[in-house]
Amino acid sequence: MKVTIAAVAIAASYCILRAQEGSRTVWDGVFTEAQARRGQEHYNQHCAACHGDTLTGGDMSPALVGGQFLSNWNGLTLDDLFERNRKTMPPGRPGRLSREVNADILAFLLSANEFPAGRTELTQDAKHLKQIRIEATRPVRSDKQ
């Protein structure tokens, strides 16, 4: 019995490590600078009235930058944040913005939180967004395989 439990634990750990190796984080350059600039324009048009020009929040709206924001989303995926925004924003008219506009706004939020831009635009596809984790701090990468 003990051998079986240990074998299952080892196998589960191996699967988790293999899954993490194939996943990406927000530190991997998952959006482009051009996309973030488009996202800033959309943000200014659709979000700034509540969340502020500097994304620091308002009386009834949370900040979208900084430690508290990152702490709330740390460990979740970009799909979690994308869907939350898509389904609940803007207030009174949730779901009004296209998936493309939501992806651009998300790219702007990542840029504003000082995550690096890359060479490929952030996708709108849930399957791909689910593979990108939000990590508040840059992960330590090992060069060893």
- Which stretches of the chain are assigned E, i.e. beta strand? 24-25, 132-133
Q: For residue 19, what pLDDT is reported?
A: 43
Q: For residue 7, what pLDDT is reported?
A: 41
| Predicted model pTM | 0.82
Of the pLDDT bands very low, low, confident and very high (cuts 50, 70, 90), residue 132 is very high
Q: For residue 18, what pLDDT is reported?
A: 38
Q: For residue 105, what pLDDT is reported?
A: 98
CA dihedral (63, 112, 120, 100) in degrees, to 10, reads 40
Give every CB contact of residue 141 below 8 A, 6+ residues apart in sequence: none
Q: How far from chain centre, in Å, is Cα 43?
A: 16
Closest C-alpha to 105, from 31, 12, 50: 31
Return the amino acid letter for 87: K
- SS3 of residue 77 by DSSP: strand
Domains of the chain plus CATH, in order, are 25-133 (1.10.760.10)
| 117 close to 31: Cβ distance less than 8 angstroms | yes
**pLDDT surpasses 90 at 68:** yes
